[in-house]
Amino acid sequence: MAYVGNPIDTQNTFQSLVGKRFNGDGSTTDFTLDVAPSSTLDIEVFVGNVRQDPNSAYTLSGTTLSFTGAPPSGTNNIYVVHQAKSVGTIGIPDDTISARTLVTADSSADHLLIEDATDGELKKALYPSGFSVSSITGATALDAVPADTDEFVLSDAGTLKRTDFKNLIQNGPFFSARSTANQQIATSTYVKVQFATEIADPSSTFDNSTNHRFTPGVVGKYIIGSNVTLKDTGDGSKLQMSIYENGSNMNSGQAAFMLRNGANDNATVGGVWLLDVDSTSDYYEIYLYHNKGSTQEIRGDFFNNFYGFRVG
């Protein structure tokens, strides 16, 4: 196969042998090498063209070569040849490494080479060829309903992103409320109905004390409905309910009922709407209208309800 990596350096210190010559004087025993060998067996030492025994004729300490006996006088009569060992290092420039695409991992034992930022050394790591449930930190099954703000991690066309539980799975926000006190409804005008008691409102999206409005806070499609009962004396007048969005009557969201002639009858009007909430600030209220000619009363009981939930 082809050589992988930087081409072998045949001009410098990676492959070429290194040598050193000295002049003996009959008394000097220590000579300094340019490179520190690993052991006496890593060099060949000659005195007067006679190879010296590495086990007894000399010792090494770093770059210091020490003879057990002083070599005789002579010009360049001592020479040292390093064996074919690496006597230097060659750095690989970052810009000489080309990217190669791994089509598929051969097995779970495949490794990648990475640089350890702690010590700068090149180390191997298992190729991430897959995982099992047991390898996920916190693999214990969830034993409670996730909170609205718990998050999922999803791939959006290849980019990992997170989203809240309530945005992806839960049919929420949702709420349900009813009236608990009698309320006077003036004639021939739209009056907002006050639903003062919450039955369910886990995300605190319904204001049951001040504005009596539902503010979902999450964009989406919602089912919103209401039923209101008016105490009636019966005279053929009109009773009409409307849902308001952001303080304005949604004319397409009205339910009308013609009060029948009869004494002491109660009249109930209701409606259910599929609405597109396209802003987190959108809010919704229920208003009631009648034209009986005098103020009428809503009884505070279970007949008056307001509810809503997200469906998509």
* For residue 13, pLDDT beyond 50: no
CA separation for the pair 13, 85 (Å, rounded): 10
pTM of the full structure: 0.49
One-letter amino acid for residue 4 of the chain: V
In the chain, CATH 2.60.120.40 covers 174-310
Which one is predicted more confidently, 93 or 74?
A: 74
Residue 104 is predicted with a pLDDT of 54
Q: Which fold has domain 174-310?
A: Jelly Rolls (2.60.120)
Q: Are 59 and 29 in contact (CB under 8 A)?
A: no
* Highest mean pLDDT (candidates 10-24, 115-129, 180-194): 180-194
Which one is predicted more confidently, 92 or 200?
A: 200
Residue ranges of alpha helices (H) inside 125-189 are 165-168
In the predicted model, what is the mean pLDDT of residues 93-103? Answer: 55
| CA dihedral angle for residue 243, residue 247, residue 252, residue 255, rounded to 10 degrees | 30
What tokens were used for 166?
């309530």
* For residue 100, pLDDT beyond 90: no
End-to-end CA distance of the chain: 58
